[in-house]
Structure 1
Amino acid sequence: MSLFSGTITDLERGLNYSALKSKVISQNIANVDTPNYKSKDVSFSQMLNEAKTSPIQAYRTDQRHIEFESSGSGGGTFSSQFRYRSNGNGVDMDKEQANLATNTIYYNALVDRMNGKLNTLQNVIKGGR
């Protein structure tokens, strides 16, 4: 029996995605004046498709049940945007700042939900006191 529900695992994956996206956005902002730098983005839909196709791990109550294994990488994929300025740079600062704000809201919502789940677990452990 698993101590943590699948929801906590899903929240963890969401936090990993958000952290990776934040890192990529920060790299784009840091390279706004770098000649010939192409902006990058993390594709959520591609990460979701990878998660759907990866095998899962299941608890077996009988030896005749089919075995499942987990092999999710969680690395994500990157796609480049090809908009050029005069120096060949493809970073749009307004878009990057909007993406950063959106990602921050998403991350904070996941953290709040994770805190709620862990507080519920802590309440159960304490016996409702």
Structure 2
Amino acid sequence: MPISLDGALGIHQPALEARIKRAEVLANNLANADTPNYKARDIDFGAMMQQAQQNLDGLAMEKTHDRHLDTGAMAADSELLYRVPHQPSVDGNTVDAQQEQSRFMRNAMEYQVSFQFLNGKVTGLKKAISGQ
């Protein structure tokens, strides 16, 4: 019985990709903390994980023709949301640098946890293949 690598790794690989994308968005927010009228953005991580779970379960929409829309790309773009500020600045910027740094560090720690889970899965697969 063949094992699919995607099935064996489960949700951990899409979780890592989502954490990487969120790190990029949060870093962009931090870089623009002093830019007038810049609006802080974030990713709906839960929605991304639901989409990934549907893809793993085989419930995702399939693109059967070249002219069909790519629903995966649309879902990824729709998960990038604007953040509602606690206290917007006078210049219209909605980035709170301390909160962004906190979110960035938490995301980095959660990335490490996801990476450790994925590493454990790969190590287990290697042991199973080699018979150790």
Q: Which category of TM-score, normalised to the shorter sequence, fits these structures?
A: 0.7 to 0.9
Distance in 1 separating the partners of 2:53 and 2:122: 26
Structure 2 gaps of 5+ residues are 63-70
TM-score, with normalisation over the residues of structure 1? 0.77
More moved, 26-35 vs 8-17: 8-17
CA RMSD of aligned residues (A): 2.5
- Aligned positions, number: 118
- Which of the numbers 95, 106, 109 marks the counterpart of 1:105? 109
| Alpha-carbon distance, 1:81 to partner | 2.0
Deviations 1:30-50 (A, max 9, x none): 000110000001012332444
Q: What is the match of residue 93 of structure 2? A: 89
Alignment of 1:1-129 (within 5 A): 1-4=2-5, 6=7, 8-51=9-52, 56-57=57-58, 71=62, 73=72, 75=76, 77-83=79-85, 84-128=88-132
Cα pair 1:55 1:70 within 8 Å, conserved? no
TM-score, normalising length: structure 2: 0.76
Where structure 1 has 5 or more consecutive residues not aligned to the other structure, the ranges are 58-67
Supply the AA of the counterpart residue of 1:115.
N
Cα deviation, residue 52, structure 1: 5.8
- What is the rounded CA distance, in whole Å, between the counterparts of 2:130 and 2:50 in structure 1? 39
Structure (1 or 2) with the larger CA radius of gyration = 1
Q: Which has the higher helix share?
A: 2
Q: What is the CA deviation profile of residues 80-104 of structure 1, one whole-angstrom value per residue up to 9, with x for unaligned ones?
A: 1243212111100111011011101
